Each structure stands twice: as structure tokens, then as C-alpha cells.
Amino acid sequence: MSLSGVGMESTGYRVFSGGIWEEKYGYARAVVVGGRVIVSGCTATVDGEVRHIGDAYRQSLTAMEIALEAVMMGGLTREDVVMVRYYVVEHRDFDPVGRAIHDVFHKVRPACTGVRVAGLIDPRMLVEIEIEALRA
């Protein structure tokens, strides 16, 4: 991941992971403003390839690992996470995604919202996760 603050003085700075969708669609992995890190939706895409096909639990863990790396690049930690939002394609994946969130954040207990959607950018993706962290 890399940081960029060029031309962003009034809106903080950006964290870039080098993911294929960031450049193609013109967004940052995360935006850091004041004591807040807002992480874009993360999937289990590593080096341009979707990982853990068919396994929502493991896709969730990978997506959260990517998101938490962006949080750390923004100067915060897992303990600073205040919100998790996740999007699943299949209803049956709410439980495995929820278990993964529990396994990562059970001591932190952030707010959390789960939503079922019609689909994600790649049909092999089962879950997308957004995270927000805030310096107390």
C-alpha cells in the first residue's frame, strides 16, 4: 500500500493498495481525514485474483485483512474500528461472514451492518467489506 497527499490538503490524504479497481474506477483504498480512516469496500482480491472461491468465511477474513492494512496505513489500529459494513450476494453467507467478523473484532465490538445485494463486480466474489476507524 502507498500514501498520497498531493492536492488533498483540505480533504486529508489517500491510501492506495495498488488494486486493479482503484485505478480503473478512480478511487482510493482509504481516505484519512483528521482522526478518521474510511476504507472503501474490500473483497478477497489479491494480486488481481479472487481468492477462496466458494468460501465466504475465508473471503471475509482476506477482505478484512486488506481493509485493516489500510487502517494501519492511516495511522490507526483494529481497536480503533467503529463500523463494519458488509455486502453478501447469497443469504446463506450472512452466518459465515458474521463469524469472520466476530473472529476479527470480538474484543472491539464495532457497529455493524450486513446487506444482501444482487451481485458484486466479479461473480466469484461472495462478500465485500467496508471499515471505518476513528481515533478516540
Specify the CATH number for the domain of residue 73.
Answer: 3.30.1330.40
Q: What pLDDT was estimated at residue 64?
A: 99
Q: What pLDDT was estimated at residue 7?
A: 45
Alpha carbons 109 and 126: distance in angstroms, whole number: 23
What is the DSSP code (8-state) at residue 106? Answer: T
Query: Helix, strand, or coil here: 67?
Result: helix
Q: What pLDDT was estimated at residue 8?
A: 53
Q: What pLDDT was estimated at residue 21?
A: 83
Q: Which residues are CB-contacts of 87 (< 8 A; sequence separation ≥ 6)?
A: 41, 114, 115, 116, 117, 120, 127, 128, 129
Number of structural domains, the chain?
1
Alpha carbons 105 and 108: distance in angstroms, whole number: 5
The pTM of the full predicted model, rounded to 2 decimals, is: 0.91
Render each residue's pLDDT in the chain as its tens digit; 136 residues: 555 544 455 678 999 988 888 888 999 999 999 999 999 999 999 999 999 999 999 999 999 999 999 999 999 999 999 999 999 999 999 999 999 999 999 999 999 999 999 999 999 999 999 999 999 8
Q: Which residues are CB-contacts of 72 (< 8 A; sequence separation ≥ 6)?
A: none
Q: What pLDDT was estimated at residue 17?
A: 87
Query: Residue 26's domain spans which residues?
Result: 2-134
